Amino acid sequence: MNPEHDKGHGDQSETVDAPVVVEDVLVEEVSIDGMCGVY
C-alpha cells in the first residue's frame, strides 16, 4: 500500500489505494466485412 506507486492520485493525503476496478467485459468481437468506406 505504497502511495508513491499510486501515480493517479498525486499527494492527496486522504488517498487510500482503491481495490482495482476491472471492467467485467474485456473482449469485444466484431465481424469486419469491410467497414463502411470499403466496398
Partner 1 sequence: MSLVDTAPPPTPLRLVDHFERGLDAPICLTWELTYACNLSCVHCLSSSGRRDPRELTTEECKAVIDELERMQVFYVNIGGGEPTVRSDFWELLDYATAHHVGVKFSTNGVKITPEIAQRLAANGYVDVQISLDGATAEVNDHVRGPGSYATAIRAMQHLSDAGMRNFKVSVVCTRQNIPQLDEFKAIADRYGAQLRLTRLRPSGRGADVWDELHPTPGQQRELYDWLLAHGEDVLTGDSFFHLSAYGQALPGLNLCGAGRVVCLIDPVGDVYACPFAIHEEFLAGNVREAGGFTGVWRGSELFARLRQPQSGGACSSCQFFDTCKGGCMAAKFFTGLPLDGPDPECVQGYGEQLLAQRADASGLPKHSGDHSHRTSPPRPRTGMGPVRLTLTRRADLSAPPVSACAEDPLAGFHPEASARSGSRPSAERTN
Partner 2 sequence: MDPSAQWRLHPQVSVRPEPFGALLYHFGTRKLSFLKDRTLVRVVDELLQAPDAIAACDRAGVAAENRATYLRALETLAASHMIEERTA
Map the footprint of partner 2 across residues 1-20, applying CB under 8 A: 19-20
Among 4, 11, 14, 28, binds partner 2 (CB under 8 A): 28
Going by C-alpha positions, the residue among 32, 31, 1 that lies closest to residue 18 is 1
10 Å CB burial of residue 5 (0-12, 13-18, 19+) is exposed
Residue type, 25: V
Cβ 31 to partner 2 shortest distance, Å: 6
Contacting residue, 5, 33, 36, 37, with partner 2 by CB under 8 A = 33
Contact footprint for partner 2 (CB under 8 A): 19-20, 22-33
